[in-house]
Each structure stands twice: as structure tokens, then as C-alpha cells.
Structure 1
Amino acid sequence: MPMRISLRQLQYFAALAEAGSFGHAAEMAHVSQPALSQQIKELERSLGVTLVERLPRETRVTRAGQEVLSRARRILAEVDDLEQAVRWQDGLSGRLHLGVIPTVAPYLLPLALARLRAQDVTLDIRVREAQTEVLIDALQRGRVDAAIVALPVQREGLTWEPLFPDTFLLAGSEGTLNRWRHRSDALRPQEISSDQLLLLDEGHCLADQALEVCGLPRRRQVDLGASSLSTLCGLVAAGFGVTLLPELAAASESAAAPNLRLMRFAAPEPRRDLALVRRESSTDDGWMKNLAGVLREAGEGVRARSA
């Protein structure tokens, strides 16, 4: 008797693996818990294996379930690519699920979304703001169509379109930055010590990039704690150390924190390279270059405000 496996069963199983419980998975899938549980049982029956360990307050994916989960996610991503190919056969139109890292989203999106809407008022844009690893995982699972992140991206099956370089500036209070004013034409990030540098919470790629350009490989040597770039800028503007601020955020954060002062580093200035990433398997009939072009124009507009 042939196996009968439905996409709905695979979607429910993927939701269960992510949620860790039948109750939370049912909420994610917008179905009743008994309905989801029944579909999982039927999937297990069809495959002849136990997919999850049913514990009192949680579920755990079995070894056999991990193999099924990996293949299920690939299948669901392929289905999403198929839908995308039809949806975007006339270029960038319809619905776009876009992921953006938190140190880019509030500064680039307002202008970028306005330009996208000006191109096509019917474009339905859904934005997900999250850290890089979360976005790349969502991209590979087909939950977002593309994501704006900082390079490098070290995952297989992805391709990207370069957007623009985003220069790092030294940010702090006037009193804090005075110690480097006489070196304004020769200041290098390696001169910033770990006891002076404030960074974002663990997991933000911006923190790792700042450590790299400052030559500080050990995170535990650095004061980590701010959950957002705005909080970080408020702290350094009040005299609590310094930080590296992307030029993309300079105008907005300077306006929000009047006591914030900025300095440029000597050439070659440290920077991060932003890119628009998608799955290699997704169909690109020109929407990727179209979207990247709009994002570049928006980035140039935002950075021009801080010049």
C-alpha cells in the first residue's frame, strides 16, 4: 500500500518540531490541538516510525524524526519556491516576505518601503526583523523570500546580491571622544580597548563585526548588554564608553541622542558589507535585482543624511 503523505502533515510536523509542544504548534498552525495531533499520528503511521517523544510538558524529535524533519523542510521550501515562481512571473509584485537584521531595519526600511510602494502600490510586503541566524534559518525553511544581512553568509544553498558598504563610525560623548580628537586623521579601531567598548547583546552580528575590526576576539572581555542600537547610543552619549555605529544609523541616532558625537576612522575605514540573500533554488525573473536596486537607492539616501 503506497504511503499517503500530505503537505499539511509536513507543515504540522515542522511546526511541532519548532514549537516543542502540541499546544504551541497548534497555535502556530492555527488549528485545534486534536487535529494537529491526529495528522502527526497519521504521518507516523504512513512512515512506520515514531517522529516525536511525547513527554508530559514537551515533545522531542526522535532520530528518525530528525531525518524526516530535514527532508520535510526542504520539501516545504521547494513548494514555497514554486508558489514564488508563479507569484513573481511578472517581476516584483504580489506578496514579498522580507527579513531584515535589527541594525538595518529601522534606518533603511522607511525609505525603502516607500520607494517599493511607489513602484507598485499593490505590492504586499511582510517584514520580519530578527538576528542573522534566525533570518537565514527562516530563509532556508521558506518562511521569508529574501533577507537583508551583513556578509559573509556561511550557509549552503544561498546566493546574494551585494547592496552597499556601511562604514563604522566611533560614537560616544564629547568628553569621551576628546581623548582622540588630536588623532582624528589617524584614528584606527585597534586603539579602542575592551574596557572602553560597549556592544550589543550576544547574537547580534554587529557586535561580532565590531570585535573583529577592533582586534578583540574574546567576547567576555567586552561589556555586552544593550538589546538595541538606540539603547547603546543612549549609553555612550551619556558617557558610558564608546561604540562602533554604522553610518546607516548615524543620522537617526544623532537626532534621538543630542549628546552623541561621532568621529571617522582613518582610511581604510572599517565597514560591513550589506547584501540581499535568497535561496539558490528560488526563481529569479528579475525581482532580486529590482529589489536590490531599490534598497541601494534607499541606502544612499539614508547615508547622505549623515554626511
Structure 2
Amino acid sequence: MNLGTIPAGMAINRPTVAQLRAFSALAEHLHFRDAAAALRMSQPALSAAVAALEESLGTRLVERTTRRVLLTPAGERVARRAEVVLAELDRLVDDVRAVQGPLVGQLRVGVIPTVAPYLLPVVLPRVAKEFPSLELSVREEKTGHIVAELLAGRLDVVLLALPVATAGVTELVLYDEDFALVAPAGFQVEDEVSREALNDLDVILLNEGHCLRDQALDVCRDVGARAAATYATSLATLVQLVAGGLGVTLVPETALEVETRRAPDLRVHRFAAPAPFRRIGLGFRSTSPRAHEFEVLAASIREAVADSGVAPGVRTA
């Protein structure tokens, strides 16, 4: 079929929701592979959905090149409309769920990597027991990505460090947790470390994009300390670098037990009061009709953390 203009008198078939979601993802990423990955579908399936949408509308929506995808003028208009339509469909589903009761059906959750492996094993069993009709889908990504996915409507709620430096996100505080100083065994540091002691130490950090890196930098800046130039992609790698003698680092209390038991040649030092800390919370779209549900979820998480005694330097809200 020639996908140009629509012949006079020819009816336009209505697009399906699946076709609109596929095209909306392609319009955002401008790359078939990346769009397919975002939707967790195969690239051929995505391509077929976009082609079917073009055929149903009788016009070309994308210009395919060897390296990227460009939107045609019609594609630009469809992308804008599709975003509105999909957002309204999500609101319809949310409104129905709100009537059915709290935390029923699908809930898409984004979690940052420096929280997910330490908090989820504590929280998920309790949530599953309290809300048996809840269908959780969890995605682990850095802060910037999960906040963008939240605002785009592809996530319902996010679990991350606060505050969120983005408009349109409502925050619910879950708990505060202290940072501890992790150093190689035999390192000459007082058992209760003052923040000023960081001035004399090589503090190594996670790489850019991790909010934990930014928080550690803030602690260092408060006392005029400078971080070392060695960065890691995960807390596990960071702690192993410390075990290898490359410096010291700051680790949140919830991660201490898991990460330090993998490297026995380490010593944990607590800071003198007031210790530096980070705040963990839930974030959701301020326009979401499910605010009450997220408050119920936040209360369940706080109770799970408090009952688990996950770490001595953790204080629930």
C-alpha cells in the first residue's frame, strides 16, 4: 500500500492501544531497538505494530534511515496525540482501581540500585502478604531514568533518595539512614569518625548518575574534603576497591551487612553525632488519583523496615 495521503472517501481504521504504545515509545527513543527494550518486546514486534499503525492511518509516520528514525510531520502530530490518549487510558485504569480498593492490580515500581538489593528483600514479602491482589512489576534504574519514566506514565511509583529535584513529583518519606565510613582493616581512623577526618582521606565514589555519589560529595563539600578520582559502577565494586586499598568510602546503613561480608578485610567506622545521612522515600506523580494507595504502601514499607531491625542507623518516618 502506498502510505502517502488518504484517498477521498476511504475510512481511517482506529489505531489499537498496542499500536499507539509502540509508536509512542519509538517517538521518544527514535530507535527501534531502544524503544523495543523500553517496552520489553521484540524489535520485529515493535516494527510490525508501527507499520500496522501507519497502514491503519494511511500515512507514513516515520522516516527510517540506516542509523536512526525520524518522525514525519504526521508522525509528530500522532506522537503528541498518542501521549495524551495513553495518559488518559492510564488515568481511567487508575480511577477504576481506586474504587476497587487500595493496591489492587498492577503496580509498576521503579527503584534505584543503591536501595533495591537491600530494601526489597525486607519489604516485598510483607507487601505480598498484606496485598495479595497486587501485581508488582519492579524496575531497577538510576534516579534520572526512573523519574523520567514516572513522569511519562510508564511507572506508577518510585523508591529513591529524597528530595526529588523535579516538579510534578509528590514525596512520601519512608526512613532516614546514616552513612558509615568503610575503610581497609588496619586503617588509622578513630572508631567514631568526625566529618572533618574526611579531609585527610581519599574518598572514592560511585560514578555519575548515582544519587549516592551526589550525597557523598555533599558530605565531603560540607567539610571542604575532596573525593578521589576513582569511581565505581556499583556499591559492591566500590567496597571491593576499598578492600584493595584504593581509599575509603561512605556506605548507607542498609547496605553495610550485605556489602562488607563479601570483603572481610574491611572495618566499619561510625560517624560522631550528628552523622551524615540520606532520606529514602516514595515518589509519585502529583496528578495521580492513587495518592491514597501510595500512602498505604508507604505505611507498609515503614512497618516492614521498623520490624526487621535492618540496621541500627535507620530511623523510620
Instruction: Give distance in 1, aligned partners of 2:244 and 2:34.
Output: 42
Specify the alignment match of 2:83 in structure 1. Answer: 73
Specify the alignment match of 2:51 in structure 1. Answer: 37
Which of 18, 23, 28 pairs up with 1:13?
23
Say whether residues 1:85 and 2:92 are aligned partners: no
* Structure 1 length-normalised TM: 0.83
Runs (5+) with no aligned partner, structure 1: none
Q: Secondary structure at the match of 1:14?
A: helix
Specify the alignment match of 1:106 in structure 2. Answer: 117
Distance 1:26 1:211, change over 3 A: closer
Say whether residues 1:141 and 2:152 are aligned partners: yes
Deviation at 1:66, TM superposition (A): 5.9
Which of 154, 163, 184 pairs up with 1:152?
163
Q: Secondary structure at the match of 2:271?
A: coil
Q: Which moved more, 1:110-119 or 1:295-304?
A: 295-304
Deviation at 1:304, TM superposition (A): 4.0
Distance 1:24 1:264, change over 3 A: closer
**Contact 2:161–2:279 under 8 Å retained in 1:** yes
Distance 1:303 1:238, change over 3 A: farther
Say whether residues 1:252 and 2:262 are aligned partners: no
Q: Which moved more, 1:95-104 or 1:155-164?
A: 155-164
Give CA deviations for 1:181-202 in whole Å, capped at 9, x if unaligned: 1xx44611x5425971111122
Deviation at 1:84, TM superposition (A): 2.1
Specify the alignment match of 1:127 in structure 2. Answer: 138
- Tell me which amino acid in the other structure corresponds to 1:187: S
- Tell me which amino acid in the other structure corresponds to 1:239: G
Deviation at 1:126, TM superposition (A): 1.0
Give CA deviations for 1:157-204 in whole Å, capped at 9, x if unaligned: 22121111121111111223x2x21xx44611x542597111112211
Distance 1:62 1:204, change over 3 A: farther
Q: Secondary structure at the match of 1:286?
A: helix
Deviation at 1:254, TM superposition (A): 2.5
Distance 1:191 1:272, change over 3 A: same
**Contact 2:205–2:231 under 8 Å retained in 1:** yes
Give CA deviations for 1:79-101 in whole Å, capped at 9, x if unaligned: 22321222243011222211110
Q: Secondary structure at the match of 1:175?
A: coil
Instruction: Give distance in 2, aligned partners of 1:199 and 1:63.
Output: 45
Specify the alignment match of 2:64 in structure 1. Answer: 54
**Contact 2:192–2:269 under 8 Å retained in 1:** no
Distance 1:217 1:80, change over 3 A: farther
Q: Secondary structure at the match of 1:147?
A: strand
Give CA deviations for 1:31-66 in whole Å, capped at 9, x if unaligned: 362442241465584xxxx75443123213468866
Give CA deviations for 1:137-175 in whole Å, capped at 9, x if unaligned: 111121111000111212222212111112111111122
Instruction: Give distance in 2, aligned partners of 1:280 and 1:26.
Output: 28
**Contact 1:76–1:141 under 8 Å retained in 2:** no
Instruction: Give distance in 2, aligned partners of 1:44 and 1:56.
Output: 24
Runs (5+) with no aligned partner, structure 2: 1-8
Identical columns (%): 39
Distance 1:21 1:285, change over 3 A: closer
Distance 1:223 1:43, change over 3 A: farther
**Contact 2:30–2:68 under 8 Å retained in 1:** yes
**Contact 1:78–1:281 under 8 Å retained in 2:** no
Instruction: Give distance in 1, aligned partners of 2:85 and 2:197.
Output: 50
Distance 1:35 1:199, change over 3 A: same
RMSD over aligned CA atoms reads 3.2
- Tell me which amino acid in the other structure corresponds to 2:89: V
Q: Secondary structure at the match of 1:11?
A: helix
